[in-house]
Amino acid sequence: MALRLVADFDLGKDVLPWLRAQRAVSEASEAGSGGADVLENDYESLRVLNVERNGNIIYTYKDDKGNVIFGLYDCQTRQNELLYTFEKDLQVFSCSVNSERTLLAASLVQSTKERKRNELQPGSKCLTLLVEIHPVNNVKVLKAVDSYIWVQFLYPHVESHPLPENHLLLISEEKYIEQLRIHVAQEDGNRVVIKNSGHLPRDRIAEDFVWAQWDMSEQRLYYIDLKKSRSILKCIQFYADESYNLMFEVPLDVSLSNSGFKLVNFGCDYHQDREKLSKHLTLCVFTNRTGSLCVCYSPKCASWEQITYSVFYIHKGHSKTFTTSLENVGSHVTKGITFLNLDYYVAVYLPGHFFHLLNVQHPDLICHSLFLTGNNEMIDMLPHCPLQSLSGSLVLDCCSGKLYRALLSQSSLLQLLQNTRLDCEKMAALHCALYCGQGTRFLEGQVLNFKGYWEKLNSNLEYVKYAKPHFHYNNIVVRREWHNLISEEKTGKRRSTAYVRTILDNAIKVISNLEARNLGPRLTPLLQEEDSHQRLLMGLMVSELKDHFLRHLQGVEKKKIEQMVLDYISKLLDLICHILETSWRKHNLHSCILHFNSRGSAAEFAVFHIMTRILEATKSLFLPLPPGFHTLHTILGVHCLPLHNLLHCIDSGVLLLTETAVVRLMKDLDNTEKNEKLKFSIILRLPPLIGQKICRLWDHPMSSNIISRNHVTRLLQNYKKQPRNSMIDKSSFSVEFLPLNYFIEILTDIESSNQALYPFEGHDNVDAEFVEEAALKHTTMLLGL
């Protein structure tokens, strides 16, 4: 099987023989038989309670009198030690021992019978006790309530000498966490007692949380609280100098509002109904020595026809959600989904159905992840019991009382590499096998098909490393050709339409490939407009990259190369979209900001700053942007920047005015003095063709003036002065103003001549009469009339 579980501890092998030996000694002097029956009863009640940071395992069992006995297995010396005995009929669900083994904290549930006669605290359902066990001495009641309390001693990083103060966490089902500071002192030699046991100082660490997890290795507490229905993950680090601080908090896109209360890795949770485990949500945090931090989440499932789970790669700043349909759903699924921490990998599996290995260092590269379904015999060999993933690669099976170290099986992965026909599984199995170690030479020796593979690969890498410059792709050709196409567009002189159509078709393929990857709705309005300049750049990149690969990848099919190029460019655009989606969600932006008639906020300015940085990066690398990027950037710029800063950004090329953005600006903003100044400043900076189109949308004397100027310029550019009659028919003019009358008559004659030559040419009802009216309005405004 791909996952190999190596047992580090087994209750049946490491504890039970010792118990039998201890019982044999105590019963040697007693007559009669029946010891074997008692031992079987002991074994039935024998179970693991907790695994401490130093690897020591706390377990419990009941003797033939019903007394609760606590024991400890030392993982270093592999010896057992009796810690304490409660001569009561109690059920233990949480226990912890300090690093010096002088104090024991335990939470126990009393039966109804014991509640009435218990002298410690009668009437309470749950007792949380603190016991001096070096030697056995006083017992202090920490809590006596009707809700569950979990206990966990902190283990300092410095263990060379005993500390005078011990710290104990109390985690309440009433959704709060306290830290108790317990001062101890030595009396009469080695006897350890609690000082001021009547009043133990305590700090409130957290409250109103719905989920918490303990990281025993790093001494960290993760918990989630709800703020305005949002799930906020927080991390508290505890230090050896008795201090602690909040390391980070990050919002998670998970639904925990109706999930109740759940704890992870605060010992073995036996009080929870395991029959309902498969219906509950699963959430856990994994870290490793490389600095990765992953949150694995599977929501409640109403049915088992399909299952959904997500992995949040916090160290990478994004997440992935997977949905898989289950086969043979008729067979009742009694166990929930299991997440395991395998250092560089996260394993997700549902016993008997699927096994998914996810590389946490390269989550974007599918070839690093391996997915096996229930048809594979490797799945059937995995344990079918719920496993609890501890720090590192430790895995605890609470049902059998076994502690495993989870490893990837290199031999099984190599077998899969040889037998599978799918390229994606071959690549994933190879990457996983390499992670398992033992060197490439050993790995090559284990594969018949890979003889000489590594030498050839290294040779090719060295060849590329020292190859001539023309082997390396650069975007000089793309940059030059793109600027040529843009300049041709401005002058109206463009080469063959077939060439341009091919480039735009390439861009359509890129957009289609990108949209096929993301079927869900987007929060940001990207990919919703033409943006011909960015589409030209996409199409040119496709053509140039494809030609480059065809020259240097002789053995690869043309279709594979084309798909590889489309995937690469789509992934670049998708990365930009994902950055914006994440920023949009982080700052709670809404669609209302897509209009110009709203004011900018701090959140909008933060997103505007991020978009400006993205623009700088893509400009330096000459990479395309998703269509709609410049429009959104401009809208945020108008919201957030003063007019002089906005115009400076436009003039310096930081903001690129698109037709979509300017049209929306003209429609959204009214004609106040401030808005008129903004509109006029924008229109003056537009290319002539777009500027003329925009002016027709703005019902304002200023736009009429601009339209008139453009009309007159077009009419007079080829005008040749002809001898004219000095007499002007004044009756045809509304105002007697000879210079204007003479000028309008000239324009009317030119229009008449043009109409005779080009009868089908129209100019949106712009004529000499329109020019006259605009001129009079402009003069009236200038004179203040």
Q: What span, in angstroms and rounded, lies between the C-alpha atoms of 359 and 728?
A: 87
Structure tokens of 133? Answer: 């066990």
Q: Strands 126-133, 103-110: parallel, antiparallel or unpaired by DSSP?
A: antiparallel
262-264 vs 209-215, strand pairing mode: parallel
- 3-state SS, 728-758, equals CCHHHCCCCCHHHHHHHHHHHHHHHHHHHHC
What is the Cα–Cα distance from 313 to 311, expressed in whole angstroms?
Answer: 6
351-387 burial: b if 16+ Cβ within 10 Å, else e: bbbbbbbbbbbebeeeebbbbbebebebbeebbeebb
- β-pairing, 3-10 vs 338-342, is unpaired
Distance CA 141, CA 146 (A): 14
Phi and psi at residue 296, to the nearest 5°: -105, 135
Residue 784 vs residues 405, 671, 774: alpha-carbon distances, Å: 88, 18, 15
Burial 84-97 (b: 16+ CB within 10 A, else e): bebebebbbbbbbb
Structure tokens at 407: 């490893």
Q: What is the reported pLDDT for 130?
A: 94
The helix (H) or strand (E) run that includes residue 400 is none
Alpha-carbon distance of 450 to 200, in angstroms, equals 66
d(CA 272, CA 276): 8
| CA gap 130, 122 in Å, rounded | 17
- Return the percent helix, strand and coil in the chain, to nearest 5: 40, 25, 35
Q: Do 184 and 191 form a contact (C-beta atoms < 8 A)? A: no
Measured in whole angstroms, how far is the alpha carbon of residue 619 from the centre of its chain? 27
Alpha carbon 26 to chain centroid distance?
58
Q: What are residue 285's DSSP bridge partners?
A: 295
First to last CA, the chain: 91
696: its two tokens: 């027709």
Q: How far apart are CA 223 and CA 212, in angstroms?
A: 4
**pLDDT score recorded for residue 246:** 93
What is the dihedral angle through the alpha carbons of 759, 764, 769, 773, rounded to the nearest 10 degrees?
A: -170
pLDDT for residue 42: 57
**Are the C-beta atoms of 294 and 311 separated by less than 8 Å?**
yes
* pLDDT confidence of residue 400: 86
- CB half-sphere exposure, 190, CA atoms < 13 A: 7
The DSSP-derived string for 469-522 is: GGGS--SHHHHHHHHHHHHHHHHT----HHHHHHHHHHHHHHHHHHHHH--SPP
Rounded-to-integer distance, Cα 138 and Cα 147, Å: 24
CA dist., res. 17 & res. 268, Å (int): 23
Establish whether the linkage from the previous residue to 135 is cis, with ω within 30° of 0: yes
CA–CA separation, 176 and 729 (whole Å): 94
Angle made by CA atoms 584, 586, 591, in degrees to the nearest 5: 35
- Dihedral of CA atoms 463, 467, 472, 476 in degrees, nearest 10, equals 180
Residues 6+ apart with CB under 8 A from 745: 728
Element spanning 394, H or E: strand 394-397
Which of these, 305, 303, 302, 348, lies nearest to 328 by C-alpha position?
Answer: 305
Specify the pLDDT at position 34: 47
Where does 173-305 show beta strands of DSSP type E?
176-187, 191-194, 202-207, 209-215, 220-227, 230-238, 244-252, 262-264, 282-287, 293-298
Report CA Rg, the chain: 38
User: Which residues have C-beta within 8 Å of that of residue 724, sequence separation ≥ 6?
Assistant: 746
Q: What is the mean pLDDT of each run of 10 residues along the chain (785 residues)?
A: 84 92 76 49 80 93 88 94 88 92 91 59 80 87 91 79 82 93 84 84 91 93 86 91 88 79 83 49 88 90 80 89 76 70 88 85 83 64 75 86 87 81 80 72 64 67 66 79 82 75 90 78 74 88 89 80 90 88 83 67 88 90 89 88 88 85 79 79 74 64 62 61 54 56 62 50 54 61 60
pLDDT at 746: 64
Residue 390 CB contacts under 8 Å (≥ 6 apart), including other chains: 51, 216, 217, 265, 396
Are 587 and 636 a contacting pair, CB within 8 Å? Answer: no
Q: Which residue from 169, 123, 168 is spatially nearest to 146, judged by alpha carbons?
A: 123
H/E element, 5: strand 3-10
- Answer for the pair 334, 280: CB distance below 8 angstroms, yes or no: no
Nearest alpha-carbon partner for 340 in 332, 351, 324, 328: 351
Indicate the pTM of the whole model: 0.61
